[in-house]
Amino acid sequence: MKKFLTIVRAFWQRSLTYRFTILSYRLGEIGETIVLILMWSAVYEGQGEVIKGFTLQEMMTYILVGNFFNVLIRNFLAEVVGRDIREGRLSMFLVRPMGYFSYILSQEVGRISVSTMMSVLSQAIVIAFFWRAFLWNFDLLYLLVLVLMLLLAFFTELLLSFLVGLVAFWIDEIDGIYSTIERVRRFFSGGYFPLSLLPAALAQISFFLPFSYSFFVPAQLYLKKIDLMTGLQGLAVQTAWILLLLLAIRLVWKRGLRRYEGVGI
């Protein structure tokens, strides 16, 4: 535990030295949220009151609250892991008496904490800016399930990113793959538009994928477009995914490492 905290603290400190980078990324994020809102406002002007069960106000809240959740949950671990493997820095971890998995996870938590806080702040400012359009939900039970869901989603995303990063064991040129996977993830998370705009079957499937829990499902839950029961089911799905991912990571890591070490040549 002390190890974990020391690593988190060190990388927390590191990120503080990149204040400007962090700030400039936040500007992009704010811009993106605002563009989405403006776009949907324009769409609603042409289309009328309700699109697939979403009023304009709900849609705006979806975007605002969804992005707010998303900045809490996301991470950039895949690139970090990929680079460590490709550039051989992994070697320096393999000789130290601490597992790479726990080290890099703690590092990422520390690394993103400052930018996460800044994002939360900047997204909160955007929400405040669209105050009138924003729908509030103060239902404590909903909020409780929501917090749990976000927590699980945070870990799911970490594990997912770690797994994606491990691709670097087999493939040298990883940047293209990462950005493609990133787009697919974003699409299935509902970050571009609510997944309920998709054909019902697809939307249904997305409930059983891990991606929708970092945007779509929690935003829907917030909007009370899904009930508590479905929310609880979601938590079960997430837990299952976390276990599955841990298992997958174990397997892939083992095989990847064998390749890295060159076992059996």
Partner 1 sequence: MAAIEVNNLSRAYEYYRKEPGVLGSLKAFVHREKLYAHAVSDVSFSVEEGELVGFLGPNGAGKTTTLKMLSGILHPSGGEAKVLGFTPYKREKAYQKQFALVMGQKNQLVPDLPAMETFILNKEIYEISDNDFHKQSEELIELFDIRDILDIQVRKLSLGQRMKCELVAALLHQPKVLFLDEPTIGLDVVAQKNIRDFLKKYNEKKKITILITSHYMEDIKELCERVIIINKGKKIFDGKLKKLIEDYAPYKLIKVTFTGEGVEKYTVEAFGTIEEFSPYSCAIRVKREEAKQTAIRLLSSPLPVDDILIDEMKVDDVVRKIFSES
Residue 96 or 132 having the CB closest to partner 1: 96
Residue 90 or 152 having the CB closest to partner 1: 90
Q: Rounded CA gap, 87 and 178, in Å?
A: 16
Residue 97 or 199 having the CB closest to partner 1: 97
CA 114 to chain centre: 16
Rounded least distance, CB 89 to partner 1, Å: 7
Question: Tokens for 220?
Answer: 């829907």
Rounded least distance, CB 14 to partner 1, Å: 5
Rounded least distance, CB 16 to partner 1, Å: 10
Which residues are near partner 1 by CB under 8 A? Answer: 2-3, 6-7, 10-11, 13-14, 17-18, 88-89, 91-92, 94-98, 103, 258, 261-265
Rounded least distance, CB 155 to partner 1, Å: 22
Rounded least distance, CB 5 to partner 1, Å: 9
Residue 75 or 206 having the CB closest to partner 1: 75
Residue 53 or 88 having the CB closest to partner 1: 88
Residue 52 or 258 having the CB closest to partner 1: 258
φ/ψ (deg, to 5) at 54:
-105, 120
Rounded least distance, CB 96 to partner 1, Å: 5
